[in-house]
Amino acid sequence: MKENDMLEKEEIFSKVLRAGRRTYFFDVRATKADDYYITITESKKFTEEDGSFHFKKHKIYLYKEDFVAFKEILTEMTDYVLENKGEEVISERHQKDFRKFFGEKGEEAVTTESFTDVDFDDI
């Protein structure tokens, strides 16, 4: 059995964060020496034109000696983003058809396509 297979079996504690097309897995694992470390795995679903799909995964291994510095920097970065950009999510603006439904500044665009054609002679 490979060493990687052994590491994957030593899962101690897990949490899952589902976020749209992405899922984040937070796992506490044990080394052969019975010490703990954390893995953070991002799994993103990609759908093909034919309807089939696949997942791309990226994994970070975080060891105890890096916990304090990692936590400090993560807190600093998340605080910075929230202080400067707030909690509003604007990523929808990057979708292919965003400008079709919304104007340049993000307001809902009103087009005649959304109106029902009514012939007043029928009333």
Give the pLDDT confidence of 82-92 residue by residue, as tens digits. 999 998 887 66
What are the start-end ranges of the H helices in the chain?
A: 3-9, 67-85, 98-101
In a domain, 60, yes or no: yes
Q: How far apart are CA 59 and CA 83, in angstroms?
A: 28
Query: pTM, whole model, 2 decimals?
Result: 0.61
pLDDT value for 95: 57
Is 108 contained in some domain?
no
Q: Is residue 16 part of a domain?
A: yes
Higher pLDDT, 12 or 5: 12
Determine how many CB atoms are found less than 10 A away from the CB of residue 37.
19
Residue 112 domain flag: no
Q: Which residues pair with 44 in a beta bridge?
A: 22, 56
122 located within any domain: no
Q: Note the pLDDT tens digit of each residue in 60-77.
A: 999 999 999 999 999 999
Q: In CATH, what number is assigned to the domain containing residue 81?
A: 3.10.450.700
Residues 32-54 have pLDDT tens digits of: 899 999 999 999 988 888 888 88
Q: How many structural domains compose the chain?
A: 1
Q: Around Cβ 3, how many Cβ atoms within 10 Å? A: 8
